[in-house]
Amino acid sequence: MNNTVNGFNQPVGFSLVGWVAPTSPQQVVLEGADVLIQPLDVARDAKALFDAFNAPSGGQNWTYLPYGPFQTLSAFTGWLQSSCTGTDPMFFTIVDRATGSAVGLASYLRIDPANGVIEVGHIHLSPLVQQTRGATEAMVLMMRYVFDLGYRRYEWKCDALNAPSRKTAQRLGFSYNGTFPWATMYKGRNRDTAWYAVTGADWPTLNQAFTTWLDPKNFDDKGMQIQRLSDLTSAMGQKG
């Protein structure tokens, strides 16, 4: 899509005539082969999430989140109830289909249907699901849902020092949009925020890359990937 000029010969953005604003995301269940994405239910999910987040090597996952770690189930449950039960951010639980256990959290936030923009954030994948096919599938399911609704832009923001998050964003096909210095603060320290996004123009090709990567034929009998997702997305010029 190309920009154009107006009657004064000034460059202006391309026309959006006929575009219809999407609805807000709903608290739906998104089904994948390896994971389910379901609306957070504090009573159902708190204990499993607390245990998953406190699995060995899980402590470092709290470093770049503006809250936690939580030392007791009671404190964690209280935080879920007070901070994670609204509609923006709208929290979802990631469930491992093989075990039926909750293994992670993610949310939609800064939901702006009028401009067709939405962000994914508060992503916390426990060691039980990190670096698995299910972890990627969870992010794909959430992205696919909002583009199916008609959103134009899907954003990912993180602490600019959070190298694993930045690497994951690029692997998933998000393009780097820049870094905002001194954007916010948390846990008594400064945060420069790195911005990434996928646009509606990117989505058809990126969706095909996800379909190719998630195909069972792309995994050998030991569950190892044959074609890497990063190769599929970088070949599209998605990496910033």
Q: What is the pLDDT of residue 182?
A: 98
Q: What is the mean pLDDT of residues 132-141?
A: 97
Say if CB 240 and CB 234 are below 8 A apart.
no
pLDDT bucket at 88, cuts 50 / 70 / 90? very high
What confidence tens digit (pLDDT) does each residue in 90-124 have? 999 999 999 999 999 999 999 999 999 999 999 99
What confidence tens digit (pLDDT) does each residue in 186-210 have? 999 999 999 999 999 999 999 999 9
| Cα 132 from Cα 145, distance rounded (Å) | 21
From residue 177, alpha-carbon distances to 100, 125, 162 in Å are 37, 24, 16
Residues 6+ apart with CB under 8 A from 30: 36, 37, 38, 92, 141, 142, 144, 145
Q: What is the pLDDT of residue 1?
A: 62
What confidence tens digit (pLDDT) does each residue in 42-77 have? 999 999 999 999 988 768 899 999 999 999 999 999
Q: What is the pLDDT of residue 57?
A: 74
pTM: 0.94
What confidence tens digit (pLDDT) does each residue in 4-29 have? 999 999 999 999 999 999 999 999 99
Say if CB 196 and CB 176 are below 8 A apart.
yes
Token pair for 209: 């890359």
